[in-house]
Amino acid sequence: MRFNQHYRLWLAGGLLFFCACAWGQPSPVGGTLGAVGSDTMAGLMLRWGEALHHRYPDITLQFQASGSASAPTALVAGTTRFGPMSRPMTESERQQFIERYGYPPHELSVARDALLLVVHRHNPLASLTRKQADAIFSTSLDCGGPQPIRRWEDLLPADQWPYGKIALHGRNLASGTHGLFQERALCNGQFRRDISEHPGSSAVIAAVGESPNAMGYAGYNHLNPMVRALPLINDKGTAITPSVATIQDDTYPLSRDLYLYVNLPPGERLPPAEQAFLELIFSDEGQQIVQAAGFVPLPQTQRSPLLLGD
């Protein structure tokens, strides 16, 4: 990443700080934007911040990447207007916001993503059902599986993959990926206690890529050649491979939206800097950035500048 006199970036302790400093004529739009939330979206938020700088050199974007669970807390506390999340707000989180402000937060879908089940790149397993995924990662079997799956020979003949116990990797409790996987893949069941939890999807991918006996779940944008994403069998019995097309049209069973929650009182308009940020996100440029960051752009029909407060 190149630095010049107009741009500074700090990354420390989970805090991303993007400063666009004007050295020439003042921009017609300026101000400081704050956002707290999803670490999954950290790189995406930074890239959007860079693009916003090129459009409006007087805008400063600060983003604290401390996990999706931190976004509702920061919004309720009033320390930020924007809360990026890799999962929807829970009803409890939404109610806390309403109790504080008297109105709900605006929920904006800003990109598409997916949760992937990944195995070592040489693993020959063809696909998984939802019941199998639940039986592997949970103790409760709430998706209806007949018994827990703990060893590779429960899925593959031992002569094909002789690696014994399945070593599991996933995200930590603060992650929206953790909560959404629990809801969607485990039917809201309970995780096994022996899952190795990681602060980011890249660490999950690295752990699985290094261990033939491992399996993990992670975000689509972290997929790399060290691992293989397993196709998931849908309710009709068809194995669906995660791809841009199947994630965008929601046919891949663990597709998801990425969200930006906005604190905006009814009838009010966003300040010009905040509005400029939203217009960038939903523009062709903003959605090209989504793809460059490894996520999936929104379908054209779901894109709009969203002039909140009109």
pLDDT value for 303: 82
Q: Which domains does the chain possess? A: 7-112+258-302 (3.40.190.10), 114-255 (3.40.190.10)
Distance CA 78, CA 148 (A): 44
Q: Are 193 and 150 in contact (CB under 8 A)?
A: no
DSSP lists the bridge partners of residue 119 as 215, 228
State residue 301's pLDDT score. 84
What is the C-alpha separation between 244 and 50, in angstroms, rounded?
A: 24
Strand pairing category for 82-85 and 7-12 = unpaired
Nearest-angstrom CA–CA distance, 199 and 174: 8
How would you label 216-246 residue by residue, b for 16+ Cβ within 10 Å and e otherwise?
A: bbbbbbbbeeebbbbbbbeeeeeebebbeeb
Residue range 45-59, pLDDT digits in tens? 999 999 998 899 999
**Which pLDDT score, from 0 to 100, does residue 305 have?**
56
Cβ-based neighbour number of residue 193 at 10 Å: 6
pTM of this structure: 0.84
CA distances from 21 to 24, 44, 45, 274 (A): 9, 21, 18, 17
- pLDDT tens for each residue of 170-205: 999 988 899 999 999 999 999 999 999 998 899 999
Which of 142, 134, 216 lies closest to 172 in space, CA to CA? 216
Helix (H, G, I), strand (E, B) or coil at 173: coil
Which residues on neighbouring strands pair with residue 196, listed in sequence order? 169
Per-residue pLDDT tens listing for the chain (310 residues) = 333 333 333 333 344 444 444 334 444 777 789 999 999 999 999 999 999 988 999 998 889 999 999 999 999 999 999 999 999 999 999 999 999 999 999 999 999 999 999 999 999 999 999 999 999 999 999 999 999 999 999 999 999 999 999 999 999 998 889 999 999 999 999 999 999 999 889 999 999 999 999 999 999 999 999 999 999 999 999 999 999 999 999 999 999 999 999 999 999 999 999 999 999 999 999 999 999 999 999 988 888 755 444 4
C-beta of residue 258 within 8 angstroms of C-beta of residue 113: yes
Closest CA to 227 of 238, 240, 217: 217
For residues 92-124, one letter each, b for 16 or more C-beta atoms within 10 angstroms of the residue's C-beta and e for the rest, the string is ebbebbeeeeeeebbebebbbbbbbbbbbeebe
Q: Nearest-CA neighbor of 296 among 46, 47, 114, 115?
A: 114
Among all chains, which residue has been given the structure tokens 């010049």? 4
Q: How far is CA 294 from CA 112, 202, 291, in A?
A: 10, 12, 5
What count of other Cβ atoms lies within 10 Å of the Cβ of residue 29? Answer: 18
The amino acid that residue 231 corresponds to is: P
